[in-house]
Amino acid sequence: MRSFYLGPDGLAAVMAIVNRTPDSFYDQGATELFDAALARVEAVVDQGAGIIDIGGVKAGPGTHVGPSEEIDRVVPLIAEVRQRYPHLHISVDTWRAAVAEEAINAGANLVNDTWAGHDPELVEVAGAHKVGYVCSHTGGVQPRTRPYRVHFDDVVSDVIRETTALAQRAVECGVPEDQVLIDPTHDFGKNTYHGLELLRRIDELVVTGWPVLMALSNKDFVGETLDRPVGERVPGTLACTSFSAARGVAVFRAHEVAATLDTIRMTAAIQGTCSPRAVTRGLA
């Protein structure tokens, strides 16, 4: 199935991360304030991001954030971004139906449900509004919790079974079929060995026909594989990105937008699916 979210030249798209939180694991609250978040949006749009993913709650454990506070964090920014960029894809990163409802009314056209349908009404909200929906896999863990001695008989089969079932439910609820994405959801309910296995066998997800989103950026599975702290995981992230782009992943959720786009484009050029952009060497 051809993805609705294609990037430049028909390549994989980049979903830029914009977190309006004080405690994000990577940027440590750099875009918590409205003006800083808006500046980040402007910068990543200029760099070529095709989707802006706006979140108001840290994924991991931390201070409780209720629905009202989450709405206050994400909805005004979504409204402003929609006004400035009428044709941009705007995603709301939430597991709550009430938050998604307000976000969609403000201009979001994609719901990034990173907690795998924890709120069963969330996909119904996306369907009712005919917006896109990301189907994730968490192994049944509760939102904002970490995995503990997690086990799968076959993590790839489990991911495929759960995400494709949720994708089918999304379509039944009214989500346009070409706006459904499936996400193996690295680190969520999984350990590092699971994350590597999902990359190693990514072809099996791609062949399902559902466009695949990968959120690899600076994740713990990269850090543990290389023994690198959060601030030193970009090379490992980009290696994972190139490997996945070569195998047909459709969207990459990323902190470093320009570097991710360069990685996607270079991978495609090696494969012969896109042309170099500014060739002069040896031709003149």
Quote the pLDDT of residue 243.
98
Q: How far apart are CA 217 and CA 26, in angstroms?
A: 9
Quote the pLDDT of residue 261.
98
**Nearby residues of 139 by Cβ (< 8 Å), 6 or more positions away:** 147, 150, 152, 158, 188, 189, 190
Strand partners, 133: 111, 180
Quote the pLDDT of residue 62.
86
Angle between helices 97-106 and 121-129 (to 10 degrees): 20
The pTM (predicted TM-score) of the whole model is 0.96
**Interval 53-90: pLDDT, tens:** 999 999 988 889 999 999 999 999 999 999 999 999 99
**Residue 30 CB burial class (10 angstroms; 0-12, 13-18, ≥19):** middle
Quote the pLDDT of residue 108.
98
DSSP β-ladder status, 89-93 and 51-55: parallel
**Residue 12 CB burial class (10 angstroms; 0-12, 13-18, ≥19):** buried
Q: How far apart are CA 50 and CA 122, in angstroms?
A: 23
Quote the pLDDT of residue 60.
86
Strand partners, 180: 133
Q: How far apart are CA 118 and CA 154, in angstroms?
A: 22
Q: Would you put residue 228 in left (φ > 0), alpha (ψ -120 to 50) or beta?
A: beta
The sheet with strand 13-19 has its strands ordered as 180-182, 132-135, 110-113, 89-93, 51-55, 13-19, 251-254, 213-215
Quote the pLDDT of residue 24.
87
Nearest to 104 by CA among 119, 84, 89, 85: 89
Which residue carries 């990173």 as its tokens?
114
Q: What is the CATH number of domain 8-271?
A: 3.20.20.20
Q: Give the residue ranges of the chain where pLDDT is below 70.
A: none
Q: Would you put residue 232 in left (φ > 0), alpha (ψ -120 to 50) or beta?
A: alpha
